[in-house]
């Protein structure tokens, strides 16, 4: 009950932060920017988003191979939309929907599902921190804020790597009464952590997702009339993606937009324009999610399952 209350509170805080962002916005300017982006700009943004979703589908499918389970990439694609809808429209249920859908389609156990979720988070954190270190070195002077950012990303990368490799051993070190309950999860976790090739591929895929989302953000800035050099676009986009590590609000709502504004101001980009771009980006995400969740429900719950367990 307490966990549920905390999650509801975090969602409310996210909405509050998003509303506060409107204080930076001139609504006439927001309307002008949206008109300037135009239909073709939205279409290109949507195509980039579809490529992101295809990569996420691959990220879902790939780790299941260590459990000798299969799920079609198309099912993984649709499940991703349902999860996003649940996170941003119906708070608290995104992860539960995702886990239940994967379990039903792939036929894996609860211990295997739980073992999938944790390393995926650590691996995504590794990808964000890796790109964070690279973008910091490229875009900022390694002094003051740049040095602080570099240290933070380096620490996140090291901690994430250690946790991926050492969590199974740590789970087995718990008292015997507890370790018996965790042994199945530890065994499943170890199947993932003991595969360097799998971890490397997942890091590459996550980096691809982040870079595509950076391109998507850079596109909106460019169409809004603010041409960013690629170094600024990279550091701004990576800072925005870093909010996914913190996960204080569902889908990073409010937090992501605030980080885009803060990063833009720090990099000398007009704050009002950055706030407008951040709001438009969020509105496009929500709109596209609403459009895709209906066919997702049809293919996942009314259509036939395409998954077989070997």
Q: For residues 34 and 41, what is the distance between their CA atoms, to the nearest angstrom?
A: 9
pLDDT of 308 reads 42
CA 149, 237, 92: angle at the middle one, nearest 5? Answer: 95
- pLDDT tens digits, one per residue of 156-213: 999 988 888 877 666 666 665 555 556 666 666 777 777 888 889 999 999 999 999 9
Better pLDDT: 166 or 151: 151
CB distance 76 to 60 below 8 Å: yes
Question: Mean pLDDT across the stretch 152-159?
Answer: 93
Supply φ then ψ for residue 85, to 5 degrees: -60, -45
Q: What is the DSSP letter of 142?
A: S
**The pLDDT of residue 82 is above 90:** no
**The pLDDT of residue 245 is above 50:** yes
Determine the number of helices (DSSP H) and then strands (DSSP E) in the chain.
12, 0
Q: For residues 100 and 104, what is the distance between their CA atoms, to the nearest angstrom?
A: 6
- pLDDT tens digits, one per residue of 122-137: 888 999 999 999 999 9
Can you give the C-alpha Rg of the chain in angstroms? 20
Question: Mean pLDDT across the stretch 280-294?
Answer: 90
- pLDDT tens digits, one per residue of 57-79: 998 888 887 777 778 888 888 88
- pLDDT tens digits, one per residue of 214-228: 999 999 999 998 888
Task: With cut-offs at 50, 70 and 90, classify the pLDDT of residue 154.
Answer: very high
Phi-psi group of 144: left, alpha or beta (phi > 0 → left; psi -120 to 50 → alpha; rest → beta): left
* Burial class (CB within 10 angstroms; exposed 0-12, middle 13-18, buried 19+) of 273: buried
pTM of the model: 0.86
Return the closest-CA partner of residue 51 out of 199, 197, 219, 276.
219
Q: What is the DSSP letter of 31?
A: H
pLDDT of 51 reads 95
**The pLDDT of residue 303 is above 60:** no
pLDDT of 307 reads 43
- pLDDT tens digits, one per residue of 7-37: 566 667 766 776 777 776 777 888 888 889 9
Task: With cut-offs at 50, 70 and 90, classify the pLDDT of residue 88.
Answer: low
Give the relative orientation of helices 145-172 and 110-139 as an angle to the nearest 10 degrees: 160
For the beta carbon of residue 129, count every other beta carbon within 10 angstroms. 23
Q: Which residues contact 112 (CB under 8 A, 6 or more apart)?
A: 67, 69, 184, 188
Q: What is the DSSP letter of 127?
A: H
CB distance 171 to 186 below 8 Å: yes
CB distance 288 to 88 below 8 Å: no
Average pLDDT value over all residues in the chain:
80
Task: With cut-offs at 50, 70 and 90, classify the pLDDT of residue 305.
Answer: very low
CB distance 207 to 135 below 8 Å: no
CB distance 78 to 300 below 8 Å: yes
pLDDT of 55 reads 93
């Amino acid at each position: 009950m307490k966990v549920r209350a905390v999650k509801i509170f975090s969602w409310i805080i996210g909405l509050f932060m998003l509303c506060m962002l409107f204080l930076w916005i001139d609504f006439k300017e927001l309307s002008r920017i949206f008109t300037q982006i135009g239909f073709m700009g939205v279409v290109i943004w949507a195509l980039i988003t579809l490529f992101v979703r295809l990569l996420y589908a691959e990220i879902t499918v790939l780790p299941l191979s260590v459990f000798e389970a299969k799920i079609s990439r198309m099912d993984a694609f649709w499940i991703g939309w349902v999860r996003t809808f649940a996170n941003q429209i119906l708070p608290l249920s995104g992860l539960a929907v995702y886990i239940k859908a994967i379990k039903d389609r792939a036929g894996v156990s609860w211990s295997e599902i739980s073992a999938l979720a944790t390393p995926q988070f650590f691996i995504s954190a590794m990808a964000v921190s890796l790109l964070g270190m690279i973008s910091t070195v490229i875009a900022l002077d390694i002094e003051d804020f740049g040095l602080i950012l570099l240290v933070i990303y380096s620490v996140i990368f090291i901690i994430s790597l250690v946790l991926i490799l050492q969590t199974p051993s740590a789970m087995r070190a718990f008292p015997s009464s507890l370790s018996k309950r965790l042994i199945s999860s530890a065994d499943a976790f170890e199947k993932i952590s003991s595969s360097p090739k799998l971890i490397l591929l997942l890091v590459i895929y996550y980096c691809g997702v982040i870079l595509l989302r950076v391109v998507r953000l850079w596109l909106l800035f460019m169409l809004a009339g603010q041409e960013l050099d690629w170094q600024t676009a990279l550091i701004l986009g990576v800072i925005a993606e870093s909010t996914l590590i913190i996960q204080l609000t569902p889908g990073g709502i409010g937090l992501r937009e605030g980080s885009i504004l803060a990063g833009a101001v720090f990099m000398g980009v007009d704050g009002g324009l950055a706030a407008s771009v951040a709001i438009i980006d969020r509105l496009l995400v929500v709109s596209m999610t609403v459009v895709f969740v209906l066919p997702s429900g049809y293919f996942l719950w009314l259509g036939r399952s395409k998954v077989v367990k070997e």
